[in-house]
Structure 1
């Protein structure tokens, strides 16, 4: 799992589609949903860690982008 698209495909396996309208908020909601999937035992720890790292990187990049506007 290397991209935001990969994380979206993970959510798609569970019928989860996230779109709030603000990319930063979308990423934050994905982090919450991902944690719930892991806590429920629907994904393993390794998959959770990889997806969370992608989301954290994207969150950081989006924050930097929004500050630059």
Structure 2
């Protein structure tokens, strides 16, 4: 798992589709849903950790992007 798309496909296997209209909010909600799926025992630890790392990276990048966008305005 290397991209946000991969995490979206993983969640989709469990019937979870996240779209809130804001990429940062989407990532945060995906983290919550991923945690719930893992805590319910439906996801292996390695898959959970890989997906969590992707979401953390994407969150950090999106936050930096939004902050740089605000500075330009």
TM-score category (smaller protein):
over 0.9
- Distance across 1 between alignment mates of 2:60 and 2:12: 23
**Structure with the greater alpha carbon radius of gyration:** 2
After TM superposition, what 4+ stretches of structure 1 lie above 3 angstroms from structure 2? none
Structural RMSD (CA): 0.4
With the length of structure 1 as denominator, give the TM-score of the two structures. 0.98
Aligned length: 69
With the length of structure 2 as denominator, give the TM-score of the two structures. 0.93
Gaps of 5+ in 1: none
Gaps of 5+ in 2: none
Q: How does 1:23-62 map to 2 (within 5 A)?
A: 23-62=23-62
